[in-house]
Amino acid sequence: MKLSTYAKKIGLSYKTVWAWWRRGFLNGQQFPTGTIVIDDADPIKARRPEPRGFACKKARDRKQRSK
């Protein structure tokens, strides 16, 4: 399925899904015309990036150490 269709199916913006594609989180192929087709038709199977909680954890650790 096309990248734009995939984005609509999982309820995210095209830009977010395109960034996932660029970073290698989605399986698929890009044709010479530029069209990106995602292999995983089931969005549950896509390997989504982990939330970035490092900065929050680091700030929380600093607050605890300063007490």
Q: What pTM does this model have? A: 0.60
Q: In the chain, what are the domain boundaries?
A: 3-66
Nearest 5°: CA angle at 51, between 48 and 52?
135
Give residue-wise pLDDT tens across range 16-43: 999 988 888 888 899 999 999 998 655 5
Give residue-wise pLDDT tens across range 1-22: 899 998 898 888 999 999 988 8
| The pair of three-digit structure tokens given for residue 20, joined into one six-digit string | 């996932």
